[in-house]
Amino acid sequence: MDARANGLTIKAPGRPLTGRVTPPGSKSITNRVLLLAALARGTSRLTGALKSDDTKLMAAALRAMGVTVEEPDDTSFVVTGTGRLQAPAVPLFLGNAGTATRFLTAAVTMVDGTVVVDGDAHMRKRPIGPLVQALRSLGIDITDTGGYPPVTVRGHGPFAPGRVGIDGGLSSQYISALLMAAACGTGPVEVALTGKEIGARGYVDLTVAAMRAFGAEVEQVDEATWRVQPTGYRAADHVIEPDASAATYLWGAEVLTGGAIDLGVPAAAFTQPDAKAQALIAQFPHLPAVIDGSQMQDAVPTLAVLAAFNQNPVRFTGIANLRVKECDRVAALATELSRIRPGLGREEGDDLIVASDPTLAGQVLPTRIETYADHRIAMSFALAGLKIGGITILDPGCVAKTYPAYWDALASLGVTYDEVA
């Protein structure tokens, strides 16, 4: 695909898609272990890593703070740290990378000096207030911009021992950010939820596993509390598993076309929360009438597009947090589904209802899909183009955020496109 193309019109293959595609490395794990390796003393080798816009922004920010980050090949980082981050000469620009922005907001509190954490226009609409409030409760001099980035941190060294409460209802990334920084504290730190809701608990488990791999001691005291010892981190070599969110598009393409796509790794081998979606995808075209997306949020766009061809309507619940992702994904999914066929998707409160119409398959319905600079909207609606003629994905280059080779991966399975200049 020409990166300059304004759109790609997908040609429905009309046959099962078969072949082997290896998904890229996990974005969630790559950005976690990049930071942990940077906070460790010594050299860590990270293999199977994702190289995308989000991870490149994280690596660039770490380099700006004195960490050596080398890239010997397309799937590896070699990170050498001193155990401390230095104040960067300029603000850290993190685009629309939510993981990097939230994680670094907590990590840079350990820097002696002032650090500004900023992002693009989209990131400046994504809330960070709960994390800032939690850090402020620890005595850290930190300000945000009306609850959003940019954030200014006037750091004075590691966390002091104590207990910090955090509202994780909007994003589990707030909890992960505190946990990772806490291991570099001067004493034990307890991180406690102030409410029962948590964005996606599985991602906190992912964080804890990564921390332990780099030598941290983390104890889950109860369902709402974690105790982190002041161990710091030690350098480690780490193999990063493939991205489960990326895998959902390939699982979706397989069931939609009746094909057989080998990902090189079984679904059961993934530790990421979105892998739970595979069990649902396998039920297509008999998806459940109600799907709770709270613990596999990034898989919801894939499931919603599959639901358009399902035998019965599907209601997606527990997805209010999708409104504060790269775009308002609840609204985007409803709008773009209904662009294909009026009434196909609609919002009801924070739920998404997909009307489902199996007869869509095989029709030619010229539709230009707005992607809102959101990689997941682009990749999920590409699946609709496997069954409906005339689907055009606008701004296809936005997939570079997490899966730069996405269009090439589909092409390797025999999918063809017309580029829109």
- Quote the pTM value: 0.95
- Is 298 among the residues known to form the active site? yes
Give the count of alpha carbons within 13 A of 220, CB side only: 13
Cα 14 to Cα 364: distance, rounded to the nearest angstrom: 12
Output the CATH code of domain 27-239: 3.65.10.10
Q: Which amino acids are annotated as binding site for 3-phosphoshikimate, given as ranges?
A: 27-28, 32, 171-173, 298, 321, 325
Return averaged pLDDT per consecutive 10 residues of the chain, 421 residues in all. Answer: 79 97 97 98 98 97 98 98 96 97 97 97 96 95 97 92 91 96 96 83 95 98 95 98 98 98 95 97 98 96 98 97 96 98 98 98 98 97 98 97 97 96 78
Provide the pLDDT for residue 200.
79
Residue 261 Rama label (left phi>0; alpha psi -120 to 50; beta) = beta
pLDDT of residue 3: 52
Q: Mark residue 362 as left, alpha or beta (left: phi above 0; alpha: psi -120 to 50; beta: remaining).
A: left
For 134-161, the three-class secondary structure string (H helix, E strand, C coil) is HHHHCCCEEEEECCEEEEEEEEECCCCC
Please report, in range form, the residues annotated as the binding site.
27-28, 32, 98, 126, 171-173, 298, 321, 325, 329, 376, 401
Please work out, in degrees rounded to the nearest 5, the angle formed at the alpha carbon of residue 288 by the alpha carbons of 265 and 13: 55
Contact 259, 14 (CB under 8 A): no
Identity of the residue numbered 409: A
Which residue is catalytic, options 118, 167, 274, 298? Answer: 298
Task: Say which CATH class 7-24+242-420 falls into.
Answer: alpha beta
**Binding annotation for phosphoenolpyruvate:** 27, 98, 126, 173, 329, 376, 401
Determine the pLDDT at residue 198.
78
- In this prediction, residue 300 carries a pLDDT of 98
* Cβ–Cβ < 8 Å for 8, 396: yes
Dist. CA 176–CA 171, nearest whole Å: 9
How many whole angstroms separate alpha carbon 209 and alpha carbon 213? 6
* Fold: same for 7-24+242-420 and 27-239: yes
| Per-residue confidence (pLDDT) for residue 2, from 0 to 100 | 55
Helix (H) or strand (E) holding 33: helix 27-39
Per domain, the residue ranges of the chain are: 7-24+242-420, 27-239
